[in-house]
């Protein structure tokens, strides 16, 4: 019992530190990070932690205390797959503004750690659909999340596999353009846009911004006629000339006193950056190389 209480205290401290690092004041998200056991999603220890100074170091033992730091943790070494950095995900998840009762779609669920965080935010009345390309990772996620009644794991290509209308689509893969499916199904989209150069090996001495993470949301407004607008994501978030623009337009007929309603994708904020050092392969790169992302 003493050990259980000790780890609970460590998780609470970790959650506070993660949100402080991300400069976020969100009690619900802090509670989610404090309650989800990270060790349940990373396989048996000791665990390997990549270091920005180069190389990877194993934890001294299988004590879960070593996981409650703001670092990625290796999942599959030969494929450069890691459980993502907690403070980065805290910032992006906070930007998604997940509310109780909402449906969240997590594209690239990996082994399920951040899926579990979002499950807490959606609550018992909400639902989280985790989509994972890699069958082995999907099986691990399904087992890891078996106690989360509001989570469903689907094996498949998150850019193509259909899902029910979502309040939030949270993408854990760098893409050069969003899938039509995401735009057609969302209220809010957290989207890493990267260059089309694909996945590069880590180069800690030369980390550069190769893209940005955007929050994109759907908005409706009154108008006298059906509108169709295009709102590109321009290269304001990166100096790289190959970051592709996002262009999408929609118009839907309305009725009654509104006459008609136009819909647009509104660029809310740049909520983070995608470093050169192998943060994500692109979706196309994933399919081409047989990789899954987390």
Q: Where along the chain do its domains lie?
A: 86-289
Q: Check if the beta carbon of residue 176 is closer than 8 Å to that of residue 194.
A: yes
pLDDT at 289: 28
State if pTM tops 0.85: no
> Over 50: is that where the pLDDT of 241 sits?
no
Q: Single out the residue of 31, 5, 3 nearest to residue 18, CA to CA.
A: 31
pLDDT at 245: 34
Q: What is the pLDDT of residues 217-231, one digit of tens each?
A: 776 554 443 333 333
Q: Mean pLDDT throughout 34-53?
A: 92
Predicted confidence band at 210 (pLDDT cuts at 50, 70, 90)?
low
Write the CATH number of the domain with boundaries 86-289. Answer: 3.40.50.150
C-alpha 103/C-alpha 122 separation (Å) is 7
State the average pLDDT for the chain.
Answer: 74
> Over 60: is that where the pLDDT of 97 sits?
yes
- Angstrom CA distances, 79 to 75, 183, 207, 250, stand at 9, 29, 20, 38
Q: Which of 43-47, 49-53, 80-84, 129-133 has the lowest mean pLDDT?
A: 49-53
Q: Which of 42-46, 131-135, 252-256, 268-272 has the lowest mean pLDDT?
A: 252-256
Q: Mean pLDDT throughout 72-84?
A: 88
C-alpha 147/C-alpha 128 separation (Å) is 13
C-alpha 152/C-alpha 275 separation (Å) is 30
């Amino acid at each position: 019992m003493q050990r259980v209480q000790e780890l609970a205290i460590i998780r609470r401290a970790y959650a506070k530190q993660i949100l402080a690092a991300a400069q976020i004041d969100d009690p619900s998200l802090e509670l989610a990070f404090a309650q989800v056991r990270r060790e349940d999603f990373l396989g048996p220890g000791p665990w390997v932690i990549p270091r920005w100074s180069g190389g990877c170091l194993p934890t001294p033992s299988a004590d879960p205390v070593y996981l409650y730091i703001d670092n990625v943790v290796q999942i599959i070494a030969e494929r450069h797959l890691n459980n993502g950095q907690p403070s980065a995900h805290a910032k992006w998840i906070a930007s998604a503004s997940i509310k109780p009762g909402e449906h969240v779609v997590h594209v690239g669920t990996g082994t399920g750690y951040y899926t579990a965080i979002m499950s807490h935010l959606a609550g018992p009345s909400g639902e989280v659909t985790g989509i994972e390309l890699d069958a082995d990772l999907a099986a691990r996620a399904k087992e890891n999340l078996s106690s989360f009644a509001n989570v469903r794991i689907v094996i498949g290509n998150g850019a193509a596999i259909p899902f029910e209308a979502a309040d939030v689509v949270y993408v854990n893969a760098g893409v050069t353009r969003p899938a039509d499916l995401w735009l057609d199904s969302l209220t809010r989209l957290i989207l890493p846009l990267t260059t089309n150069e694909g996945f590069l090996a880590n180069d800690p001495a030369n980390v550069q911004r190769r893209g940005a993470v955007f929050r994109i949301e759907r908005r409706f407004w009154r108008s006298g006629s059906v509108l169709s607008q295009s709102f590109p994501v321009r290269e304001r978030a990166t100096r790289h000339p190959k970051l592709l623009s996002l262009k999408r337009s929609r118009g839907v007929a309305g009725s009654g006193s509104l006459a008609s309603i136009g819909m647009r994708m509104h660029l809310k904020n740049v909520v983070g950056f995608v470093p050169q050092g192998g943060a994500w392969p692109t979706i196309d790169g994933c399919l081409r190389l047989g990789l899954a992302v987390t």
